[in-house]
């Protein structure tokens, strides 16, 4: 099976699905993302149930999912630039399948230890850390560099479609079949993508046969970041935004009274991100990336303030719908900017360093918001987060995102 390096520039995000390899990989990602979000929501709900709603322990579930990524993702990005990316993807998805299966079995056997839940959630995140930069690094070679913005949007549809359906499905299934079975379903969702990756006969690229040692290659990635002002701007603004938006994952289990409502309410956030993905191209033709991000951050901050003022599930769902759309616009700006700035030689490492920054926002932001909620309340913490987002925006307003025509020359020396 060959890649689609010579693909012509597409006219819409859906036209990329005409490329066989991209289509099958995308379907596999849709399925595995669906299972991932089912497990994420299930783990947070189980922690709430097992600890009688301890806000700090509930928030630590998100830390367990993101902290291993922070610690390992740069090393994973270095591997993505120095070894066969297809084999790395097979390893990463196999790892996640085994981690999910192990957690399902232990819960089925009656283990309700919060530490066990955090540890095996972290084990799943190890596979995620290996998968993420590698998956992003192969995008340009599959669809062509001109189609990267469309591919980013389609990947977001896959992730956020799962974010819509996963929580809703999990919310319905948890009281019917139990948390162990829901997590077990996640373990099976990796099978299709693994089959596609095994089928793919990828030709190794220059990045796969680098003469650099592992440590030298990692140092080269950080050297690029140090030399690129534009890339550091993307990292700083992304890290601050994710530190704030982490409160949604950390505190929403504390604001919604039951699992079914929680799944549906949180699914609205993913639906909003899908709306953003389907409309980002049209919006970007009319407004600059910086204008879009400015408006999106303001809207997102206002939605956090509104979440602090209501306990109605329908109202929270509507608010998260808008917040999810705004979140996608910021996330898309970050990913597209990174893909266009990074040369292929360091793409895996650069994307890994960016994702490390974003996941640091999630990993450290979640327990911070859990602690704030413990000393105030979950609703008060939402209000504080909305105000803090506006402060961060004011501090970084004069640090613009790069435009499509911008690039950073690569000089490893």
Residue 407 binned pLDDT confidence (cut-offs 50, 70, 90):
very low
Residue 241 lies in a domain: yes
pLDDT tens per residue across span 101-128: 999 999 999 888 999 999 999 999 899 8
Q: What is the DSSP string of 85-143?
A: HHHHHHHHHHHHHHHHHHHHHHHHTT---HHHHHHHHHHHHHHHHHHHHHHHHTHHHHH
The CATH number of whichever domain residue 123 belongs to comes to 1.20.1250.20
- Residue 262 maps to a domain: yes
User: Which of 101-105, 293-297, 310-314, 380-384 is least confident?
Assistant: 310-314
In the block, residue with structure tokens 């970041």: 225
Q: What is the pLDDT of residues 220-237, one digit of tens each?
A: 888 888 888 888 888 899
305 DSSP assignment = H
Predicted confidence band at 408 (pLDDT cuts at 50, 70, 90)? very low
Q: Is the pLDDT of residue 209 over 80?
A: no
Domain membership of residue 109 (yes or no) is: yes
| pLDDT given for residue 4 in this prediction | 46
Q: What is the pLDDT of residue 360?
A: 85
Alpha-carbon dihedral 396, 401, 406, 407, rounded to 10 degrees? 80
* Mean pLDDT of the 50-76 span: 83
pLDDT of res. 259:
64
Q: Is residue 375 part of a domain?
A: yes
Average pLDDT, the chain: 82
Is residue 124 a part of any domain in this protein? Answer: yes
pLDDT band at 204 (very low <50, low <70, confident <90, very high): low
User: 3 falls in which pLDDT band (50, 70, 90)?
Assistant: very low
The Cα–Cα gap between 45 and 37 comes to 12
Predicted confidence at residue 390, as pLDDT, reads 95
Greater model confidence, 133 or 57: 57
The residue among 293 and 168 whose pLDDT is bigger is 293
Q: Would you state the torsion angle of the CA atoms of residues 266, 153, 396, 226, taken in this order, to the nearest 10 degrees?
A: 120
Nearest to 152 by CA among 359, 401, 6, 339: 339
344-5-216 Cα angle (round to 5): 20
Identify which has the larger pLDDT, 31 or 407: 31
State how many domains the chain has: 1
pTM above 0.75, yes or no: no
Distance CA 153, CA 372 (A): 34
The pLDDT-based confidence of 367 (bands split at 50, 70, 90) is confident
Residues 139-193: pLDDT tens digits?
Answer: 777 777 677 777 777 777 777 677 667 877 887 788 889 889 999 999 999 999 9
Task: Give the number of C-alpha atoms closer than 13 A to the C-alpha of residue 339, restricted to the C-beta side.
Answer: 27
Q: Is it the case that residue 24 has pLDDT exceeding 80?
A: yes
412 occurs within a structural domain: no
8 lies in a domain?
A: no
What is the distance between the alpha carbons of residues 159 and 127, in angstroms, rounded to a whole number?
17
Could you tell me what percent of the chain has a pLDDT over 90? 26
The least confident of 205-214, 253-262, 312-321 is: 205-214
pLDDT at 211: 58
The pLDDT value given to residue 412: 38
Instruction: Over range 1-19, report the average pLDDT.
Output: 60
Phi, psi angle pair for 360, to nearest 5°: -60, -40
CA distances from 324 to 8, 38, 190, 290, 317 (A): 31, 18, 26, 18, 10
Q: Which domain holds residue 183?
A: 13-206+214-396
| Local confidence band at 41 (pLDDT 50, 70, 90 cut-offs) | confident
For the cut 60, the answer to whether the pLDDT of residue 409 exceeds it is no
Average pLDDT over residues 372-387: 92
Q: Note whether residue 411 is domain-resident.
A: no
């Amino acid at each position: 099976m060959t890649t689609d390096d010579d693909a012509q520039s597409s006219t819409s995000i859906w036209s990329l699905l005409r490329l066989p390899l991209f289509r099958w990989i995308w379907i596999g990602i849709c399925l595995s993302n669906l299972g991932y979000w089912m497990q994420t929501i299930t783990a947070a709900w189980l922690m709430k149930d097992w600890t009688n709603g301890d806000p700090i322990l509930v928030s630590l579930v998100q830390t367990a999912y993101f902290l291993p990524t922070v610690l390992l993702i740069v090393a994973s990005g270095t591997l993505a630039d120095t070894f066969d990316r297809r084999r790395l993807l097979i390893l990463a998805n196999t790892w996640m399948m085994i981690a999910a299966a192990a957690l399902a079995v232990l819960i089925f056997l009656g283990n309700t230890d919060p530490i066990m839940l955090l540890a095996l959630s972290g084990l799943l995140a190890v596979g995620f850390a290996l998968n993420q930069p590698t998956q992003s690094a192969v995008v340009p070679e599959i669809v062509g560099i001109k189609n990267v913005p469309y591919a980013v949007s389609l990947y977001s549809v896959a992730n956020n479609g799962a974010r819509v359906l996963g929580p809703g499905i999990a919310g319905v299934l948890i009281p019917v079949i139990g948390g162990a079975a829901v997590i077990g379903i996640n373990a099976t969702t990796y099978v299709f993508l693994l089959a596609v990756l095994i089928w793919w006969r990828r030709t190794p690229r220059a990045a796969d046969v680098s003469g650099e040692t592992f440590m030298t290659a990692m140092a080269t990635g950080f050297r690029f970041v140090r030399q690129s002002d534009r890339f550091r701007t993307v990292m700083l603004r992304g890290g601050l935004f994710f530190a704030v938006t982490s409160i949604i994952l950390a505190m929403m289990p504390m604001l919604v009274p039951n699992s079914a409502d929680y799944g549906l309410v949180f699914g609205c956030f993913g639906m909003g991100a899908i709306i953003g993905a389907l409309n980002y191209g049209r919006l970007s033709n009319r407004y600059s990336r910086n204008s879009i991000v400015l408006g999106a951050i303001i809207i997102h901050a206002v939605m956090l303030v509104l979440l602090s003022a209501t306990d109605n599930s329908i109202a929270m769902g509507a608010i998260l719908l808008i917040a999810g759309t705004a979140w996608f616009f910021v996330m898309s700006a970050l990913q597209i900017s990174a893909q266009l700035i990074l040369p292929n030689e360091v793409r895996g490492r650069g994307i890994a360093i960016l994702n490390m920054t974003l996941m640091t926002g999630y990993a450290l932001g979640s327990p911070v918001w859990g602690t704030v909620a413990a000393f105030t309340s979950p609703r008060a913490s939402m209000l504080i987060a909305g105000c803090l987002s506006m402060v961060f925006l004011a501090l970084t307003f004069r640090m613009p995102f790069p435009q499509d025509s911008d690039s950073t020359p690569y000089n490893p020396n």
